[in-house]
Structure 1
Amino acid sequence: MAEPEPSPDMNLLRQLTLQKCNGDLTEEGAERLSQLLVSSDLARRTYFELTTVHSQLDWDLGSVSDEVASLLKEQLEDADARLPSPSSADSTRPMVWMVAIAASILLMAAGAWWRLSRPGDGPGARIAQIDDADSKAAVLGSVTELVPQSRWSIGQSAVAEPNVFRQGDTVSLDAGGIKLSFRSGAVAILDAPVTVNMLSKDRVRLIRGGIMIDVPKGAQGVAVETASTEVIDIGTIYSVRLAGRKTEVVVFDGEVDLKSTTTPVAGTDQQLESKRRIHAGEAVQVGEDGTLSRIVSVQRSSIQGQREFDPTKLVIASVRDNNVRDDFYSFYEVVPGGMGEDAEAFVDRPHEWNGVDTGGMPAYLVGGDYIKTFNNDKVADDLQVDLTLQRPATLYVLLDNRVEPPDWLLATFEDTGDQIGIDEVPRTEEFTWERLDDNPQVGAGHSIDRNHSIYKRVVKQGGAVSLGPNGNVPTEHARREGLVNMYGVVAVPLDQPQVQ
């Protein structure tokens, strides 16, 4: 028989929730609130009853938000003395009290507005137009199972539908993976274990685990917040993951604005807010004190990458380099089994690998693990890239034909004589890259802009392998303008039959 869920400290929960709504929650309080929410479904439901009420009032009553907050505080403090201690056998009673409290706050707040505003002017006009349907939790989107036998739950005080999520819902995924399709067009990929709270149509709060957000062109974005970090997308694909008390943010496409709370000012309780824009190909870890550090190597799960692979057969375990620069956050992405036609070549460019003709790329590369390097590092003379291989492998380096082969490559690799092409996406005047309907094109031999030579090395046992910088750029103009590509890396298990 399953052990009953421990009862949360409801008084503390309401106090911390109010502080969160008012924007004065301390770092210690945020940590305690997160613990309460992770430990109890009842706590999560109560939390979102309160935050939903606060958010709705703040939206509808705008100019009297301070008075609303004061009324909410009075009601909650009064409720502390009246609300019975919850038990697992009677988990619905706190919700009844929350509804009653919400109703009284709405009445009092409405009265406060009429005292402070003239008829027909300001927020009161909006209140008069609120339809009964708006008082119900709005449907934000639908749920799709990505992995057979995935286990998830969706809880809200009044509604529980397994394939629909609403404003205020808590979505908990314990096994497998699911896709949340927002009505706005955005998509969220959840990979177990993860718990996320649906705050509104364009905002979620991550409680545990990680989430990947994909916002197609023309869709409304979705912001993700954690206890100390807020990520606001600007038309992008990005992921957010909790790592203990730290938050990891990876931008795969587009840009995000990252807000974090810094260490309190010396001698005060005042915390400063830091804001930074993170671009495609960058990954950061936000510490407890708000400091940012670089995440060097990234690997999407099979669910996030929407590509099945056997984790026991991975070849490339990790990638590191010797870059030590301030404000430098570029990452390498390891793509297990991902090499093939139209595979993205770089983390910071939408260029793609393809066969140089319609016959396709060399068959021995197809299905190999490969590394998406960052093209911004193509002219770094002192670069060293260190790979960790989990097993014996054949390692391939794909070198741009416009550069001279570097000494380290000639000394440790052999030229296969084969070529692979790149389908490049043109750069705009703003130095950004935007996919067009006809560029890049699909398939081998189409729209090939550059050729790369394929070099090969047999690594007979797993372990560390070091690679050096890109080859010398022949002209100063080409070097200054970056008119070459960084090399690519592919690894194929040595015990896999080599197809010529």
Structure 2
Amino acid sequence: MRQKAALQGGAGMSPEHEKDMDLIARYLAGAATADEVLLLEKRLRADTALRREFLSHANVDSALLASVNPSVPRARPAPARWRTGVKWLAAAAAVALGVFWLQGNGVEARVLASSSGEWRVGQVKSLSLLDLKTGTLQLGLTNGVVLDLVAPVRMRFEDAMRAQVLAGSVTADVGPAGSGFTLDTPSAHVVDLGTRFGVNVLDDGDTDVAVFQGKVEVHEPKGSSHNSNAVTLHAGDSVRVSSQAIIRRQALIATRGESAFILAPPPPDALVTGVSDNIEGDDFRSFYTLQRGAMHPGVRPYSTLGRPRWHALPGESFPEELLGADVIGTFSADRHERELQLQVKVSRACTVYVMLDSRSQVPDWVRRDFTDTGLRLSSGPWADNPVVQGMTADGSGEIHVDYTVWKKIQPSAGSVTLGPPYPAGDAVHRAMYGIAVK
């Protein structure tokens, strides 16, 4: 029995586990009786870890069998219906866990975090085709690449450096060892250049690509007949790639997470459905971020600045009226845009809030269309940045910027227009305004 010696004798193995391993060895050697096959089937149904071990040993067994000289006598195999039944059972059980296990070597991945009890943190799995139907999942590959998945996601792993995203949203955090990691989609071929980036495959096959750190190259998908050049995206850039290899700016990216953004698909009942502006330029691809229901102390107000966060003023509570609002992360650099026109599209009646740097004059469009709530917020801490030039650090050595909070009642679905952050001639060392919708 060619497998039995390899399966038996593990240090620290419990008697019950030894019996299971002996049963698997007998089955793979073709020596199991009908009663033993039925017992194995029962054990596989009841034990997830045993199913994984069975599949692992079955793969090894298949590889060894392929190399055996056919002239060497071997034990008569168990009836085909029993072998097929147990293999089908184990495979079906694996599919129920959200993973399609294929014969041969898959890509080794460790479960780092999961919102589902079906994925246990610390598990190491060999993945070929993955179908995550609900929840979120974080996987670590052997080359240091960390993948964040937001269901529903379907993807196929070719090897540790390449995967295909067939549907859904996947964010990749690529370390030095994983440089060059590639995600393929039906409409795009995205190559990492040392970065954190996300892809979202839409129902029509188009692909949104967003870069949170570093840069990536976006090409046509493998096998495409198009001849356009690759596009390089940098941190804060996003594009939508169509099935015709047309690449255009994608101005709004829905995200989740605070320390590092994770691309997330919009729910059917999304309140904010779009953000657009009048900023033009062939190479301008910066995106606004949308964090749904995320307004609370510590959330990021800007799409491209990771350090400043929204806070209450010292000694005060965070304004309850703002809690749970959708947060639109603006570009810090837009504080210089004196002709800015920004459109926020909403699906139903709501309140739109604008947070203004309290050091600045209030723009005419704010005084005309918005009402001062009397609420106040703070953002920080700020690093060495022109926004806080001339400001003095507080007792803890940090610099924070105070904001006034203005609101507008939007009575129905439609667009709300926001203008430039400051009147012409106002000081340049001011923060860009923040936006929240509730």
Q: Which TM-score applies when normalising by structure 2?
A: 0.63
1:287–1:385 CA distance, 2 compared to 1 (3 A): same
- Specify the alignment match of 2:110 in structure 1: 142
CA RMSD in angstroms comes to 4.1
- Specify the alignment match of 1:463 in structure 2: 414
1:277–1:427 CA distance, 2 compared to 1 (3 A): farther
Give the whole-Å Cα distance in 1 for the aligned partners of 2:162 and 2:315: 45
1:343–1:196 CA distance, 2 compared to 1 (3 A): same
Which protein has the bigger helix share?
1
Give the whole-Å Cα distance in 1 for the aligned partners of 2:134 and 2:430: 44
* Contact 2:277/2:343 (<8 A) preserved: yes
Give the whole-Å Cα distance in 1 for the aligned partners of 2:265 and 2:213: 26
1:456–1:176 CA distance, 2 compared to 1 (3 A): closer
- Specify the alignment match of 1:189 in structure 2: 148
* Contact 1:230/1:260 (<8 A) preserved: yes
Give the whole-Å Cα distance in 2 for the aligned partners of 1:310 and 1:257: 23
Query: Shift of the alpha carbon at 1:391?
Result: 3.1
Deviations 1:293-327 (A, max 9, x none): 0112222379x978999957753232222333222
Q: Give the one of 412, 430, 434 matched to 1:484.
A: 430
* Contact 1:255/1:279 (<8 A) preserved: yes
Give the whole-Å Cα distance in 2 for the aligned partners of 1:165 and 1:294: 37
Q: Give the one of 193, 208, 220 matched to 1:248.
A: 208
Alignment of 1:5-404 (within 5 A): 137=105, 140-143=108-111, 146-148=114-116, 163-166=123-126, 169-215=128-174, 220-221=178-179, 222-226=181-185, 229-243=188-202, 244-251=204-211, 253-261=212-220, 272=227, 274-300=229-255, 314-350=270-306, 351-404=308-361
Give the whole-Å Cα distance in 2 for the aligned partners of 1:204 and 1:308: 19
What amino acid does structure 2 have at the position aligned with 1:250? A
- Specify the alignment match of 1:69 in structure 2: none
Corresponding residue SS for 1:346: coil
Query: Shift of the alpha carbon at 1:248?
Result: 1.7
Corresponding residue SS for 1:342: coil
Give the whole-Å Cα distance in 2 for the aligned partners of 1:423 and 1:259: 34
Query: Shift of the alpha carbon at 1:271?
Result: 5.6
- Specify the alignment match of 1:27 in structure 2: none
1:228–1:456 CA distance, 2 compared to 1 (3 A): closer
* Contact 1:140/1:165 (<8 A) preserved: yes
Query: Shift of the alpha carbon at 1:369?
Result: 1.4
Give the whole-Å Cα distance in 2 for the aligned partners of 1:446 and 1:314: 40
* Contact 2:241/2:248 (<8 A) preserved: yes
Corresponding residue SS for 2:431: coil
Deviations 1:224-250 (A, max 9, x none): 223563323345432112233432201
* Contact 2:195/2:214 (<8 A) preserved: yes
Figure out how many residues of one structure are paired with residues of the other and give that number. Answer: 326
Give the whole-Å Cα distance in 2 for the aligned partners of 1:353 and 1:446: 18
1:163–1:393 CA distance, 2 compared to 1 (3 A): same
1:273–1:466 CA distance, 2 compared to 1 (3 A): closer
Corresponding residue SS for 1:408: helix
Give the whole-Å Cα distance in 1 for the aligned partners of 2:384 and 2:402: 18
Q: Which TM-score applies when normalising by structure 1?
A: 0.56
* Contact 2:288/2:328 (<8 A) preserved: yes
Give the whole-Å Cα distance in 2 for the aligned partners of 1:448 and 1:227: 46
- Specify the alignment match of 1:79 in structure 2: none
Q: Which runs of 5+ in 1 are unaligned?
A: 1-88, 93-135, 152-161, 432-444, 493-500
